[in-house]
Amino acid sequence: MPEPEPVAQTITPKPSFLASRIGGFPRTFWVLWTGSLLNRLGTMVEPFIGVYLTQARGHSLAVAGLVMAVYGAGALLSQLIAGWLTDRIGRRATLTGGMLVAAAGMLALGYSTSLPWIVAAMFVVGLALDAYRPASQALVADLIPAADRPRAYGLLFWAFNVGFSVAMSVGGLLAQSGIIWLFWINAVSAVAFGALVWVAVPETKTASQKKGGGFRDVLRDRLMLAFVLLSLAYTMIYSQAFSTLPLAMIGSGLTTVQYGVAMATNGILIVIVQPLINAWLARRDHSTVLAVGVAIVGVGFAFHALATSMTGFMVALLIWTTGEVITAGIGGAVVAGLAPPHLRGRYMGVYGFAWSGAALLAPPLGTWLLSIGPVALWCTMGVLGLAAAAGHMAIAPAIRRRAVQPAL
């Protein structure tokens, strides 16, 4: 009897280093990614709002603080309104509309001279500037399978950081030639992002996603609320990098230039390291990755309590930047997994509400703790980070079960 022919085995080639990190995404995702990068490259006004209000318009620091609080209130509402619109009228229309309103608000703010008009324009800018986020994140959830979402959200996070780093550098130079240039560049980049989405991104909301539901359904999802509260704790810690950290460094005898160098280092590390480990982290359990990253961020900020020199602050920054890189993109992927398809916009809006809420709550809390002493501030942040990490581990089994059997 003749021996049977050997069965040929097909060996699937291992994807290349580059393909494992950016491969497998549809063209629509890359259009969104390109638009997001373009938009962030033009986001030059926000970091210089205080300079504009005090120097270009001659208002006091107290008035500038109140006007910026109005901006924060608009940003807080924007996530919920944009989340609702994302589910009601679609991802494409919400994103494009938000960008056009943001552009109009930017130009109105740049040319406003009276305080009432400045306040009104600031509220509109706060309401519209980040309104694209729930729509963008819901669009990614529509396009990308669950297993690849951490990579996708991580790539968007990387684009945001590249764009913001360039915008900070170029914006500082352009502000010396006339701050109105910043408003025009911000407006043009917003219009370009909106137009690109309108022309090249099809609506991803399907007929099956048009059934009823509202924020009440999100608020009844206790697992989602627990995750949002843990996200709020993390963002309360992270926001200290932009509110109390410069004050603490100056209080230790350092300069604003040294703070700028420290934050530039943070951006450079994210740009270099995050693409290298994003694909590897995406294959790990999301809750465990978040717990590790949040704990490292908390420990890193706690290390600021020991810093008395630039070297000490840089060591602490390197630690919490590592945690920031680890968490990049994971939170959005978790929320996308928790959200029913017809409520993705609202879920993303509530998740974004945690980030906007921290932007309002973190500065007063941080400055109050700093007035007690740096040790009180940084140790509180460390404890908060470890508590949030423990919370992520506590809800991890429920997150895993939801990933297997999504909520309806």
Convert the pLDDT of each residue in 265-275 to its tens digit.
888 888 888 88
Contact at 8 Å (CB) between 346 and 83?
Answer: yes
Please state which of the ranges 83-92, 270-279, 312-321 shows the lowest mean pLDDT.
270-279
Q: What is the pTM of this model?
A: 0.83
Q: If we measure between CA atoms, which residue out of 238, 154, 222, 215 comes closest to residue 395?
A: 222
- The helix/strand/coil state of 158 is helix
Q: Supply 314's token pair.
A: 């840089």
Residues 6+ apart with CB under 8 A from 356: 72, 75, 76, 78, 79, 130
**Greater confidence, 7 or 135?**
135
Most confident of 146-155, 258-267, 399-408: 146-155
Placement of tokens 């992520």 in the chain:
392
Convert the pLDDT of each residue in 362-376 to its tens digit.
888 888 999 899 999
Residue range 182-206: mean pLDDT, rounded: 91
User: What is the distance between the alpha carbons of residues 387 and 381, in angstroms, rounded to a whole number?
Assistant: 10
Convert the pLDDT of each residue in 16-59 to its tens digit.
555 555 657 899 999 999 999 999 888 888 767 777 887 788 88
Residues 6+ apart with CB under 8 A from 389: 290, 291, 292, 294, 295, 298
User: What is the distance between the alpha carbons of residues 376 and 370, in angstroms, rounded to a whole number?
Assistant: 7
Whether the pLDDT of residue 211 is over 70: the answer is no
Give me the sign of the Cα torsion angle 129, 351, 84, 357: negative
User: What is the distance between the alpha carbons of residues 156 and 83, in angstroms, rounded to a whole number?
Assistant: 18
- pLDDT number for residue 10: 46
- pLDDT number for residue 408: 43
Residues 6+ apart with CB under 8 A from 201: 28, 31, 32, 91, 92, 95, 139
Residue range 241-253: mean pLDDT, rounded: 86
User: What is the distance between the alpha carbons of residues 96 and 88, in angstroms, rounded to a whole number?
Assistant: 14
Whether the pLDDT of residue 405 is over 60: the answer is no
Please state which of the ranges 91-95, 96-100, 282-286 shows the lowest mean pLDDT.
282-286
- The helix/strand/coil state of 143 is helix
- pLDDT number for residue 406: 46
HEC per residue, 218-276? HHHCHHHHHHHHHHHHHHHHHCHHHHCHHHHHHHCCCCHHHHHHHHHHHHHHHHHHHHH
User: What is the distance between the alpha carbons of residues 87 and 139, in angstroms, rounded to a whole number?
Assistant: 11
Convert the pLDDT of each residue in 289-301 to its tens digit.
999 999 999 999 9
Whether the pLDDT of residue 407 is over 50: the answer is no
User: What is the distance between the alpha carbons of residues 243 and 366, in angstroms, rounded to a whole number?
Assistant: 8
Helix axes 344-372, 330-338, angle to 10 degrees: 140
Whether the pLDDT of residue 347 is over 50: the answer is yes
Through-space distance between the first and last CA atoms of the chain, rounded to whole angstroms: 59
- pLDDT number for residue 399: 93
Contact at 8 Å (CB) between 191 and 198?
Answer: no
Residue range 159-170: mean pLDDT, rounded: 81
